[in-house]
Amino acid sequence: MKRFVGIMVGLVVLASFFFAGSPVSAQDDDAVAATAAAEANLVKIGILQFAPHASLDNCYEGIIEGLKNTGFIDGISATIEFVNGMGEIETNNLAAAGFVSKNYDMIIAIATPSAVAAYAAARDAQIPVVFSAVSDPVSAGLVRSLDFPDTGATGTTDTLNFDGQLKMIRAFLPEAKTIGVLYTTSEANSISQIESLTEAAKDYDFEIKTVGITDASEVAMGAAQLIAEKIDVMNNVTDNNVVNNFSVVTNATDPAGIPIFGSEIEQVARYGCVASESLDYVALGILTGEMAGEILKGEDVMTMPVRVVKDSFPVYNSEIMSKFELQLPADYASATDVAGAR
């Protein structure tokens, strides 16, 4: 009898333990369901960056800040997925298609190849695309015009200050005659920039020599070809393939005694360029993120003008200057020295 009672007590205790836990489990299930429902209601944003180099990283940083400025914060009011395409066109195409298949509310694309991939994937699905660091969105087929895009895509364009850049090169190298430019033939932004640079160079008595390449494997060959052309100096545009493989370029030009002038601050601070009339890519990204936020709140992507960023500021690297035995021109005494800044 005592044994039977003991067994019954044990069963009662076990049962009470089991049922006491049931309400907690139900509460947990409710919390999970509520979280899932909340996440389902968040705005879904895909961000696609073409390659892992510093200026594009700065763009991404700015975009996140710009989205935050307009109320879109990852995990709170939005779900933001970031993909770096690692400089591979196919990877960018697959990532863009993935965003569309998940029915994202918007794709933000950093750099021309990513923007082209995003627009191609999102156009039929009518998912808005906001781009950043696209130098010539009209030539890239992303918009009909800067003032009236009318395609489902808009964003920001980084217009390089070639007059300021050429003036800088002339001040640093008064005797220079030929400027070499290495570019990727599939990057519409690079072709457009070379056209603008070539036109502006006439006012500064420079000859522009160019070498076109198709991918990363040809960067070393292209740099060697420019050196063989007896260029005096090299100027880098915002060519993503070249910037992503910049150490290959400097490995060729440094021993040849050919200085390079960059297109933005990171190339001067980190990649071995002498100086640059630089754009602020964090600021460019902030503007892009704020535009994206405005569209998510109801502004029409079809009619929102592309915003052009032109303002530049001079920077130089005193350590790189010393390598090439260059002196800082008097006109640039107030420029910023970024040696050791990164």
For residue range 308-330, list pLDDT tens digits in order.
988 899 999 999 999 999 999 99
pLDDT band at 191 (very low <50, low <70, confident <90, very high): very high
The confidence score (pLDDT) of residue 27 equals: 56
Write phi, then psi, for 45 (nearest 5 degrees).
Answer: -125, 130
Tokens (6 digits) for 226: 């420019």
Q: Which one is predicted more confidently, 64 or 26? A: 64
Whether 60 has a pLDDT exceeding 80, the answer reads yes
Per-residue pLDDT at 342: 59
Residues 73-87 pLDDT 10s: 999 999 999 999 999
The mean pLDDT of 83-96, rounded to a whole number, is 96
**What is the per-residue pLDDT for 251?**
97
Phi, psi (deg, nearest 5) at residue 88: -105, 125
Query: What does the alpha-carbon distance between residue 15 and residue 37 come to, in Å, rounded to a whole number?
Result: 33
pLDDT of 10 > 80? The answer is: no
Asked if 157 and 135 count as a contact pair (C-beta separation under 8 A), the reply is yes
Burial 201-218, CB ≥16 within 10 A → b, else e: beeeebebbbbbbeebeb
pLDDT at 90: 96
| Mean per-residue pLDDT, 1-9 | 38
Least Cα distance to 314 among 283, 286, 277, 269 occurs for 277
- Alpha-carbon 274 to chain mean position: 22
Say whether pLDDT at 32 is over 80: no
CB atoms within 10 A of CB 179: 25
Other Cβ atoms closer than 10 A to 27: 10
Q: What is the DSSP string of 258-327?
A: --EE-SBHHHHHTS--SEEEEB-HHHHHHHHHHHHHHHHTT--TTTPPPEEE---EEEE-HHHHHHTT--
Q: Is 108 exposed, middle or buried (0-12, 13-18, 19+ CB in 10 A)?
A: buried
For residues 318 and 336, give the distance between their C-alpha atoms in angstroms, rounded to a whole number: 10
> Mean pLDDT score of the chain, rounded to an integer?
90
Angle at 21 between CA 20 and CA 23, to 5 degrees: 85
Q: Which residue has better confidence, 299 or 186?
A: 299
pLDDT confidence bin for 20, thresholds 50/70/90: very low
Residue with tokens 């990649």: 271
Q: Quick check: 203 pLDDT over 50?
A: yes
Q: Among residues 187, 208, 186, 191, which one has the least CA distance to residue 199?
A: 208
Average pLDDT over residues 190-205: 94
Whole-number pLDDT of residue 25: 55
What is the C-alpha separation between 142 and 151, in angstroms, rounded? 7
Q: How many CA atoms lie within 13 A of 132 on its CB side?
A: 33
In the predicted structure, residue 34 carries a pLDDT above the cut 90: no
Compute the distance between CA of residue 15 and CA of residue 24 in angstroms, rounded to an integer: 15
* Residues 136-168: tens digit of each pLDDT: 999 999 999 999 999 999 999 998 999 999 999
- CA dist 69 → 61, 111, 158 (Å): 13, 22, 21
pLDDT of residue 15: 41
From the centroid of its chain, how far is CA 182?
A: 20
**Pair 176, 274: CB distance under 8 Å:** no
Match 């079809």 to its residue by tokens: 302
pLDDT of residue 35 exceeding 50, the answer is no
For the stretch 279-301, pLDDT in tens is 899 999 999 999 999 999 999 99
List domains and CATH numbers for the chain: 42-159+281-309 (3.40.50.2300), 162-278+313-337 (3.40.50.2300)
List of E strands, the chain: 43-49, 78-84, 106-110, 129-132, 153-158, 178-184, 207-213, 233-235, 260-261, 275-278, 307-309, 313-316, 336-337
Whether the per-residue pLDDT at 252 is higher than 70: the answer is yes
What pTM was computed for the model? Answer: 0.82
Return the minimum-mean-pLDDT range out of 49-53, 89-93, 177-181, 284-288: 49-53
Percentage of the residues of the chain whose pLDDT score is greater than 70: 88
- Determine the residue type at 130: V
Residue 6 or residue 171, greater confidence: 171
